[in-house]
Amino acid sequence: MGTSDDDEERAAAVQAVADAGRVLSTAAVLFHTNVSSSVGLGPTDGKVLELIRRYSDISAKELAERTGLAKNSISAVLSRLEKNGFVERRPDPADGRRLLLVSTAEGARRIGELFVGLTSRLDELRERYTTEQLRVIADYQLRAAAIQHSEAAKLGTPASS
């Protein structure tokens, strides 16, 4: 059995991780809000664009399922992204009736320019950690993201009557 000092240390460490997660979450939301605003988009638009880039050749229906956003909300976001030159709709080579969403090279360049400072500073920060520490950090972040995604999906699902 652990001592009460061990329990107190663990509780303090758990609280520090929770606090740091909230600080990081807020910083990320504010950063991405400002990035999106810099190119004439809203925060949701920017994150939907990131999903389109991550899951290249995705349909609007698949995107709605991944985000939990209603079809009309996704349609409005996609219209803004297309109007601003960030996304194109292309016929699916396997099914010409279906349209796939593809991020444009010019849009990627415009967004990428805004990440240069952040990326270089995060590269410098990662130099402070060992490979094993980076693996643990990555594992935690991915597991936390999966939990948050799952909880977000629950919130996006209308309550049944």
Is the pTM higher than 0.85? no
Domain ranges of the chain: 13-114
CA dist 21 and 35 (Å) reads 21
Query: Which candidate, 39, 47, 117, places its Cα nearest to that of 77?
Result: 47
SS3 87: strand
Per-residue pLDDT at 2: 59
CA dist 103 and 97 (Å) reads 20
SS3 98: strand
Contact assessment for residue 35 and residue 114, using Cβ atoms and an 8 Å cutoff: yes
Residue 64: alpha-carbon gap to chain centroid:
15
> Could you tell me the fold of the domain covering 13-114?
Arc Repressor Mutant, subunit A (1.10.10)
pLDDT (tens digit per residue) in 110-147: 999 999 999 999 999 999 999 999 999 999 999 999 99
Query: Which candidate, 105, 61, 112, places its Cα nearest to that of 85?
Result: 105
The answer to whether residue 158 scores a pLDDT higher than 60 is no
pLDDT (tens digit per residue) in 21-77: 999 999 999 999 999 999 999 889 998 999 999 988 899 989 988 888 888 889 999
Contact assessment for residue 55 and residue 100, using Cβ atoms and an 8 Å cutoff: no
pLDDT, averaged across the chain: 90
Supply the Cα-derived Rg of the chain in whole angstroms: 20
The answer to whether residue 96 scores a pLDDT higher than 90 is no
The answer to whether residue 106 scores a pLDDT higher than 90 is yes
CA dist 56 and 51 (Å) reads 8
